[in-house]
Amino acid sequence: MSAELEISAAELDKVRNLIYKESGMLFPTKKNYFIANRIGQRIKSVNAKDFREYYHRLLVDSDEMQNFLEELTVNETYFFRDFPQLQGFAEILLPKYLEKKRQVNDYLLRLWSAACSTGEEPYTLAIILREMIEDFDRWNIQIDATDIDRRVLRHAKIGLYSDRSMKDTPIPYRNKYFKRTPDGWQILPVIAEMVNFEQLNLIDRMAMRRRRNYDFIFCRNVLIYFDDTSRKRVVMALYDALVPGGYLFLGHAESVGRITAAFHLERLGDFLCYKRPEI
Ligand SMILES: C[S@@+](CC[C@H](N)C(=O)[O-])C[C@H]1O[C@@H](n2cnc3c(N)ncnc32)[C@H](O)[C@@H]1O
């Protein structure tokens, strides 16, 4: 009998609560089979005797907790995801925003991709900035990219992508910023060097407090895995991480309307973005 079949529903509840406490991800009970399966895999990897021994290990061994969370994250992403939203950002919001900064001689621009997965999102932002900013060389552009999952960050730093990741990438950009290799599409250094990757858990209060003064934060397609309580906690931390007048972008299925009135909503075509008021 496999290890996962020996886990009771009550034990799985305990694990779901632990996952929630450690990551903000709230798995519904209908995902019990998926969680049990991942526990079974980890039990084998660490040679634990049974569920009880493994659960105890999760409580005392933060490395194993991290390994376990990495088995649970959904890392689906691709370049130029939600193209119309990015187009609104690139063609409507960004030019206005940069013009305001130029007027006060402020040439620092800071972006954060706050659940970056394998790197497609922050590299997409880097390509957009390179393409859209005529006086690009005058700007000090900083793009931070973070994720809870160390495996995806390793992939992001290597910067090698499948055809699937590239499916929405405009061909001129693909030809300009990637090199075709037998193993896939390699992002070129001119873009790779613009992005700084680091591990960060969005519900880690201390780590979030250190993030400040971003002009644009992209936190897309991660809050769908959270409940309203952890969502609110993250969104308020992102609010604090923005400069007054800075913008938050969420995934198309996500909204902050129900959880806070702190932001001003702005429409970009069919998309909403969330502005931290100027004062
Ligand atoms: C579906 S991907 C989204 C990637 C990209 N933002 C996009 O929209 O294509 C969700 C990412 O959120 C990350 N994640 C989940 N919980 C997290 C947490 N508590 N802190 C930071 N990242 C988290 C996962 O590891 C995963 O890589």
> Which pTM was predicted?
0.96
Secondary structure letter of residue 222 according to DSSP: S
**Amino acid found at 233:** R
| Class of CATH domain 83-275 | alpha beta
**Amino acid found at 251:** G
Would you say 110 and 66 are in contact if contact means Cβ atoms under 8 Å apart?
A: no
Main-chain phi, psi angles of 227, to 5 degrees: -95, 175
pLDDT value of position 5: 53
Atom of ligand 1 nearest to the CA of 201: 20
For the segment 167-209, what is each residue's pLDDT rounded down to a tens digit?
999 999 999 999 999 999 999 999 999 999 999 999 999 999 9
Whether 81 lines ligand 1, by a CB cut-off of 6 Å, is yes
Question: How far away, in angstroms, is 6 Cα from ligand 1 center?
Answer: 30
Every domain of the chain and the residues it spans: 3-72, 83-275
The two structure tokens encoding residue 105:
């001689």
* CB proximity list for 159: less than 8 A, separation 6 or greater: 119, 123, 186, 187, 192
For the segment 111-139, what is each residue's pLDDT rounded down to a tens digit?
999 999 999 999 999 999 999 999 999 99
Hey, whose CA ends up nearest to atom 9 of ligand 1? 77
Q: Strand 214-219 vs strand 195-199: parallel, antiparallel, or unpaired?
A: unpaired
The two structure tokens encoding residue 87:
């187009």
Question: How far away, in angstroms, is 53 Cα from ligand 1 center?
Answer: 29
For the segment 48-78, what is each residue's pLDDT rounded down to a tens digit?
999 999 999 999 999 999 999 999 999 999 9
